[in-house]
Structure formats: structure tokens, C-alpha cells
Amino acid sequence: MTTPTPADERITTEGPVYTVTGGDWDTLLDEDHDDRIVINMGPQHPSTHGVLRLVLELEGETVQQARSVIGYLHTGIEKNCEYRTWTQGVTFVTRMDYLAPIFNEVGYCLGVEKLLGIEAPRRAQQARVLLMELNRIGSHLVCLATGGMELGALTGMTAGFREREEVLHLLEFLTGLRMNHAYVRPGGLAQDFPDGWEEKVTEFVALMRTRLPDYDKLLTGQPIWRQRLENVGYLPLDGCLALGATGPILRSAGLPWDLRKVEPYCGYEEYDFEVPVLTEADCYARYRLRVAEMHESLKIVEQAVAKMEPGPVMVEDRKVAWPAQLSVGSDGMGNTLEHVRKIMGQSMESLIHHFKLVTEGFHVPAGQVYTAVESPRGELGFHLVSDGGTRPVRVHVREPSFVNLQTMPAMSEGGMVADVIAAVASIDPVMGGVDR
């Protein structure tokens, strides 16, 4: 067994800097080295929710200063949207917050529809609500699962991902894909739900009603879990407002701010549900809120199934509605053979219009708009600018993970290194949304 060599030292304008790799850590732990230590947590670290780098300045195990370094996952989605048609933009924005892609699609499409001066058919609005609440449940389950894994509650992780698989199976049945769906389109939906969707959704709700109480037994009332989260990552209401935090972080500090209630969209004002609120403003409160929100989402899903009315899922305006008459064809996807036969064999004008609509896209009146939805992480807003063409001039996203990540230093500084992990887990940042 080799003895670790002393840590390498180099002199800088700020004083000596030591590079330690783990095995030689205790060579610095003496009275000659009582300075602050700067460590990197991430960007490849299992507890930083993707490629997030945290630079922590420590005195002993107490965090004196914390900084987040982002950009490792930058994809240029906002800029890419400027080079695609308005419809094609959906396929980009759905990849931002990859745990809640339906919210990205709905927020973007609501903005495009506002610029167009149109509204999606009622059935499409109800289907959007159904999909968003299913997606909210799936996203919260990942938050609980990864948070449990990072804090040592591995059974919470396996249970959370088990339930999330049920959500993904259902979303795949309803939309055709487990994630990055591009199912919500400007003017409505790509296609209607398949036959038998009511039974599948009802079975899922019944299953989740039996599974969700297990989290209270496994985690909520568990003394170790409570001690690990209570009074950790504290951020009071004034701190939340100063930093722009929304979603469970804001509601854990006592403010019942939920866009589904305060600025309803997609007909949310017709649904009966509560906005869970707590006042402890710590990691434990944020955990409990997410569990409570999943129960409320199940209530909304049930109501959406009952409310669903027959009718079209895309606006009638043929200058906007694309793809036209899309349904499952003989190849498993695509336009029906009857529709292809009609536009190719009976009407040259229909064929030309379909070709131009697919290749060039539709024109959107000049103007700018901001629309927002309540994603699992808070206010997800889209600022869209049009010059009257077939592509956006500017797409900018108010991404809640990006804004909420600002709260990390306020939650962590003055606490222990181990509590940084709990604080970041309670923020629930998704780096695809942060970096965009």
C-alpha cells in the first residue's frame, strides 16, 4: 500500500493553491492549512441534476460561498427556432425541459395562436390539459426519485422511476412517443387520441391512487428523511420574490401563486383543484408540495376525461392546419391513404397548397406576444416576435429552471456541503431548460 504524496502547491497572486485528488486530502488538514478550500462539485456529478457545475468555497464543511456555472448543455434551441417554420419550432422547444416536454409545446403554441388570433378547438384544449397534468406527475416523480437517490433513499429512487414508467407508457400510447412528443401543434394537436384512451387513462389514475400513499409511508413520515430535509435550504418569501423564484419553491414560502389559477389558460378555470401551499420554506416543504400536487393532478386528469367532448382537434382554417387530416395510416403513421389519394388525384390546388404549407409554413401576422404556463418548476414563458413571415424573428424563453437556480447560493451559503445536495434537489433544475 503506497503512502499518498503531499498535495502539490503553486503560488498565485491570491496566495498558495493546492491541488488535491482525494488520497492526499488529509495532508492539508492541519493547523498550517486553515484557509478556505474551493472545490468543484460537477459538472459530471450524480447529484447536480445533469451537467451543472457548482463552485463551493468552504471553511471546514461549511459553505461560505456558492456559485453555479452553467452552459455545458447549451443547444441553441431559441436561435434554431428562427431558422424553422412556426410549426417546426415545436420539435425544438419540446427538447428544452426534457422532463416536461408537453409544457414547452403548449406554451409555445399558445403564443403562436395568440399572434394568429385563433384558438384551438375545445377538444384539443381539454386534451392539452390532460397531457400536461400527466406530464406534471411524471416530472415530479423524477424529482422525488433523483432527490431520494442523492440523499441515500434508494428505495425512493426505484419506486419513483417505476411510477414514471407508467406515465411514459401512457404518454406513448396517447401521443406516439415517450418524450419530445411534438404532439401539440399551433392550432391544436397533431392527431386525436387513439381508440381506448379513456380506459387507459382511467386505469392509470386508479393505479396511482394506490401507489402515491406509499410515498408517505416510505418518505414523508420517515424520521431520517425528515431530519435530512427539515430546516435545510431555507428561503423565505421575500427571498423568493427578490430572486424571481416560482413554482413549488415560491409556494413552499406561503404564496399561492399558480398560473392555472391566477391567469388561467386552456380552460383551467373550469377544473376543480387546489393549489397546495406551505410556509416552512425548506426542502421538506418542497418535497411535500410536490406529493400534494400529484394528487391534485390526478383530480384534474379525471375531470379532463369526463369533460372531453367529441369534435376536431385542429382548427378548420386550412391555411394553418398542418398536417392535414393526419391519422394512423397503413405504415403506422402518416396521412390516410384516402386523403393522399384525394389531394394527389382529384385536386391540383390541394396538392400545391399542402406542399407549400409543409415546406414554407404559414404566415403569422407581425407583432410580439408573451404567453406563460405553469410548468412543474414554475412559470414557463415564451416571448415570440413575428415580422409577418413564415418563421419567428425571435424566440425567447423564460425558463423556470434557469431563474430558480439563482436561489441555490441563498439556500446553501452558511450550511454544510451535504445540504447543498438537498437544496439543489429541492430546486429540481433541468439543465436542458437552463442552458437551452
Same domain? 49 vs 156: no
Alpha carbon distance 408, 352 (integer Å): 54
Q: What is the mean pLDDT of residues 269-293?
A: 91
Q: Is the same domain home to 121 and 12?
A: no
Which pLDDT belongs to residue 168?
92
Looking at 53, 69, 85, which one is the last position of a domain?
A: 69
The C-alpha cell that represents 155 in the structure block: 428505495
Please report whether residue 189 resides in a domain: yes
Is 92 inside any structural domain? yes
Mean pLDDT score, 93-98 = 90
In a domain, residue 60? The reply is: yes
Q: Tell me the pLDDT band of 340, cut-offs 50, 70 and 90.
A: low
- Locate 56 and state its grid cell: 463551493
Q: Are residues 224 and 289 in the same domain?
A: yes
Find the mean pLDDT for residues 404-417.
89
Q: Are residues 180 and 33 in the same domain?
A: no
Q: Give me the mean pLDDT over the 12-25 stretch.
A: 66
Q: Mean of the pLDDT values across residues 8-16?
A: 73
Residues 129, 269 within the same domain: yes
* Single-letter residue type at 191: Q
The answer to whether 102 and 93 have CB atoms below 8 angstroms apart is no
**CA-based nearest residue to 178, from 288, 296, 94, 255:** 94
Place of cell 451559503: 413
Q: pLDDT value at position 324? A: 46
Q: What residues are paired with 372 via a beta bridge? A: 381
**Same domain (yes/no): 15, 121:** no
Query: Residue 374 has what pLDDT?
Result: 92
What the block records as the C-alpha cell of 71 is: 452552459
Domain-embedded: residue 102: yes
Residues 127 and 52 in one domain: no
What's the mean pLDDT when you consider all of the chain? 84
59 and 86 housed in the same domain: no
In terms of residue numbers, what domain contains 63? 8-69
Asked whether residue 60 falls in the same domain as residue 96, the answer is no
82 lies in the same domain as 207:
yes
Burial readout 250-259 (b: 16 or more C-beta within 10 A, e: otherwise): bbbbebebbb
pLDDT the model gives residue 147: 86
Vertex 242, ends 109 and 40: CA angle to 5°?
90
Select the more confidently predicted residue: 122 or 8. 122
Query: Domain check: are 132 and 29 in the same one?
Result: no
Instruction: Supply the pTM of this predicted model.
Output: 0.86
**Sign of torsion over alpha carbons 198, 204, 208, 210:** positive
Q: How far apart are CA 251 and CA 128, in angstroms?
A: 24
Q: How confident is the model at residue 338 (pLDDT cuts 50, 70, 90)?
A: low
Q: What are phi and psi of 396, to 5 degrees?
A: -130, 135
Give the model's pLDDT for residue 56. Answer: 87
Which three cell numbers, joined as nine digits, stand for 9? 502547491
Q: Mean pLDDT across the stretch 55-78?
A: 87
Task: Give me the pLDDT at residue 362, please.
Answer: 83
Residue 432 is predicted with a pLDDT of: 87
Highest mean pLDDT among 39-53, 55-69, 364-378: 364-378
Query: pLDDT tens for residues 223-264?
Result: 888 888 888 889 999 999 999 999 899 999 989 998 999 999
The domain spanning residue 243 has which CATH number? 1.10.645.10
For the chain, the domain total comes to 2
- Compute CA distances 218 → 27, 90, 208, whole Å: 41, 39, 15
pLDDT value of residue 2? 43
Residue 286 domain-assigned (yes or no): yes
Of 53, 133, 146, the C-alpha closest to 100 is 133
| Of 69, 38, 72, 149, the residue nearest 421 (C-alpha) | 149
Q: Is residue 150 part of a domain?
A: yes
Average pLDDT of span 374-384: 93
Of 28, 47, 69, which residue is a domain's last? 69
Amino acid at 61: E
pLDDT the model gives residue 371:
93
HEC profile for the chain? CCCCCCCEEEEECCEEEEECCCCCHHHCCCCCCCCCEEEEECCCCCCCCCCCEEEEEEECCEEEEEEEECCCCCCCHHHHHCCCCCCCHHHHHCCCCCCCHHHHHHHHHHHHHHHHCCCCCHHHHHHHHHHHHHHHHHHHHHHHHHHHHHCCCHHHHHHHHHHHHHHHHHHHHHHCCCCCCCCEECCEECCCCCCCHHHHHHHHHHHHHHHHHHHHHHHHCCHHHHHHHCCCCCCCHHHHHHHCCCCHHHHCCCCCCCHHHHCCCCCHHHCCCCCCCCCCCCHHHHHHHHHHHHHHHHHHHHHHHHHCCCCCCECCCCCCCCCCCECCCCCCCCECHHHHHHHHHCCHHHHHHHHHHHHCCCCCCCEEEEEEEEECCEEEEEEEEECCCCCCCEEEEECHHHHHCCHHHHHHCCCEHHHHHHHHHHHCCCHHHHHC
Q: What is the mean pLDDT of residues 99-105?
A: 93
Amino acid at 81: C
Residue 7 has pLDDT above 50, yes or no: yes
* pLDDT at residue 4, as a whole number: 43
CA-based nearest residue to 137, from 96, 173, 174, 168: 168
Between vectors from CA 36 to CA 31 and to CA 42, what angle results, nearest 5°?
130
Please check whether residues 141 and 27 belong to one and the same domain: no
Give a yes or no: residue 346 inside a domain. no
Listed residues 69, 87, 119: the one ending a domain:
69
What are the CA-CA distances from residue 298 to residues 189, 351, 428 (Å)?
22, 43, 21
Q: What share of the chain has pLDDT > 70, as a percent? A: 86
Count of other CB atoms within 10 angstroms of residue 70: 18
All three cell numbers of 280, joined, read 416552512
Q: Examine residue 194 and state whether it is found in any structural domain, yes or no.
A: yes
Tell me which residue of 231, 253, 225, 233 sits closest to 241, measured CA to CA. Answer: 253
Residue predicted with more confidence, 341 or 396: 396
Cα 24 to Cα 21: distance, rounded to the nearest angstrom? 6
